[in-house]
Structures are given as C-alpha cells and as structure tokens.
Copies of this chain bind each other. A is one copy, B any other.
Amino acid sequence: MSFVRIQNISISLDGFGTGEGLAFESPFGHAGERLHEWMFATRFGRGMLGLPGGSDGVDNAFAERHETLGIGAEIMGRGKFSPQTGPWTDLGTDEEWRGWWGENPPFHTPVFVLTHHPRPSIEMEGGTVFHFVDASPQDAVAMAREAAGGRDVRIGGGPTMAREFIAAGLVDTIHLVQVPIVLGRGARLWDGLEGLETDYDVEQVASPSGVVHLTFTRRGDRG
C-alpha cells in the first residue's frame, strides 16, 4: 500500500508555515526566505538553484527525499501554486502563470492543484503536469493515488491544506522542519490538530544547522 506523505514543510517556533502578505514578489509573506534558508544550504537546495556544493548531512538527507522515485503524485493547495485567489485572470494570455519553479519544476509527476476554479492542465518539462481540481481532501487523495500508480502521494502544502489533510486522517507520515524564528502571524499548521500524538509516533531530531526535524509516523500496520 502506498503512503500519503508530508515532506519538508518548514514552520517557525510558533508553528507558522507562511507569513502574512503573500504576493508574487513575496511568496511567503513577511517570513521572506527565513523558513527555507536551511534547505538552500543543502546540496539538494543548491542543486535546485544550479549551484555546486552544499551540506550533505541530516538536513540534506531529509531535503533530497523530495526527489525520491517513490513519489508518484503531489497534491498542493492553490496558495502554493500561485498567490492569486478567486478566478484566474491569466488564462489564454502570453503571461500565463505556470508556477514558481521555471520550465522544469522539481516534481516530475502529476501535481493536483486544489482550487475552486478549475482550468486546463499545464504540461511542463521533466514530467510535471499541473492539474487543477475542485475536490475534497478524500477525493483528491483517491485521484492522486490512482495517478501515482502504486507509488506514494505527497501532500505538498501550504500549511492550511496540510492541516486539513492531517485533520481528515489522510496522512501516513509527516516531516516538518522547525526553524528557530518567531513569526507571530500567518498560517499556523497546528490549529485544529489537538491530540495528534495519539495517532503518530513522534521524533524530534536537532540538526547542527539549528533546525529541528519533526517526524510523525502513523501507528499501526498501515503502509
């Protein structure tokens, strides 16, 4: 049985996964790049930017799981694909929005973008195809599992959709990265998840880089 996984969602000490004021020029709002500096110091993160070097320790071990062959599809919130809300205004224009990641996004699988405003799919280089679907978490997981062909499904975030999928009991493994900053405002991952530890085994592992990797593995014999 394939797993439904959350990977590499960065949160502040106070649990915010994005800041306030998301916009094209500031995809994480007032948080800026601070939630993701740990990743861009790894070999995986630097490679995404076309740069050599980077650390190959515990941070990289977690970060590069994003590229594992074991993932067959991703589900992401619209807020991860684009900071726009409401009807799409770029359809059929020369400046059609194709995500933050350039022509060869780091997914290489079908990606289901949750939106109340479906639009035609977008095929990118490297195997990534963005599909835009208006679906419940349950239906989205069923759809992604089908597309994943037996491999795992990644719940890509942002934090608001991630906590909805967790609260619905749909997620088998969760990997969060706690960054030592206090954001104060934004989208908080933990809201509505009281008692999460009763369903999961939890590990906290500190990295020399200053972040803590939190992993949750669902109890029982699923998977």
Contacts and interface: CB of A to CB of B under 8 A. Distances in A.
Contacts of A193: 14, 182, 184
Contact of A180 (B180, B197, B206): B197
Q: Is the interface of A mostly helix, strand, loop or mixed?
A: loop
Nearest to A194: B184
Nearest to A216: B180
A58 B201 CA distance: 22
A138 interface: no
A195 B185 CA distance: 11
A22 interface: no
Given A180-B204, A182-B195, A204-B206, 12 more contacts: A13-B15, A13-B190, A14-B193, A178-B204, A180-B197, A180-B203, A180-B214, A181-B197, A182-B196, A184-B192, A184-B195, A205-B206
